[in-house]
């Protein structure tokens, strides 16, 4: 296959010298990878949009692709974050300062007590000024049997009492990193018109990542995770 040296070109993966291939792709003289520079630039564009809080629709418009394509890029980034955040917490879990339990319900459902069993329950830990979240088992499996009784008002009141009595928490003050994250997460979720229960953890972890890492640190981490994936 024909190729020619690219002046000052360095490999995206190992910073080796790049050569242009006859099919328009490039090849690294060190790691021997072959790839499209256009594809790499497109990935960088999606990473930047993701880190800058742009929606998938906005990213699609910027990149000149369909929403489905942009959503696939965003979902891939969210999946990469889960093992990364687990590793961050595993390295520093001995430094946990505080923890508390949070019940989150989508904004569109908060006025109807019948939706209480759609709430997501998670624990938030503060370790050295950063947060880590563990999603608790869903209560949704109890929803139909409870509502069938026609006693949603009673169940709502009893469930609220239960949460207050059995709340899991260890806090030093009311104004803390955990509360700051909850406020951030609540605002973060307002731009989404509902999230499927099975996907909620990905959005929770996205917010965790963005809360813990400012720009441009977010981009540096995600680009590294993409290179290593």
Q: What is the pLDDT of residues 98-152, one digit of tens each?
A: 888 888 888 777 777 666 778 888 999 999 899 999 998 876 665 555 555 555 5
Q: Report how far residue 119's alpha carbon sits from residue 204's, in angstroms, rounded to the nearest whole number.
A: 13
How high is the pLDDT of residue 10? Answer: 85
Q: Where do the structural domains in the chain lie, given as residue ranges?
A: 1-35, 78-228
pTM over 0.75: yes
Kindly report the backbone phi and psi dihedral angles of residue 120, in degrees, each rounded to the nearest multiple of 5, phi listed first.
-105, 130
Return the minimum-mean-pLDDT range out of 50-59, 106-115, 179-188.
Answer: 106-115
Q: Report how far residue 5's alpha carbon sits from residue 19's, in angstroms, rounded to the nearest whole number.
A: 4
Q: Report how far residue 202's alpha carbon sits from residue 90's, in angstroms, rounded to the nearest whole number.
A: 19
Task: State yes or no: pLDDT of 3 exceeds 50.
Answer: no
Q: How much is the CA Rg of the chain, to the nearest whole Å?
A: 22
């Amino acid at each position: 296959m024909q190729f020619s040296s690219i002046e000052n070109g360095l490999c995206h993966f190992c910073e080796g010298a790049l050569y242009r291939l006859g099919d328009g792709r490039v090849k690294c003289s060190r790691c021997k990878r072959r790839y499209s520079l256009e594809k790499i630039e497109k990935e960088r564009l999606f990473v930047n949009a993701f880190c800058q809080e742009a929606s998938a629709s906005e990213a699609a418009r910027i990149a000149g692709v369909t929403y489905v394509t942009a959503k696939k890029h965003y979902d891939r980034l969210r999946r990469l974050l889960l093992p990364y955040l687990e590793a961050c917490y595993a390295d520093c879990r001995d430094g946990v300062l505080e923890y508390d339990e949070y019940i989150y319900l989508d904004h569109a459902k908060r006025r109807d007590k019948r939706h209480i069993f759609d709430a997501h329950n998670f624990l938030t830990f503060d370790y050295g000024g950063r947060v880590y979240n563990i999603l608790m088992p869903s209560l949704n499996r109890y929803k139909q049997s409870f509502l069938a009784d026609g006693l949603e008002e009673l169940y709502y009141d009893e469930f609220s009492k239960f949460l207050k009595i059995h709340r899991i928490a260890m806090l030093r003050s009311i104004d803390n990193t955990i509360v700051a994250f909850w406020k951030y997460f609540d605002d973060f979720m307002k731009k989404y018109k509902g999230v499927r229960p099975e996907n909620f953890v990905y959005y929770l972890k996205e917010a965790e990542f963005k809360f813990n890492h400012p720009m441009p640190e977010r981009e540096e981490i995600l680009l590294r995770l993409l290179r290593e994936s």
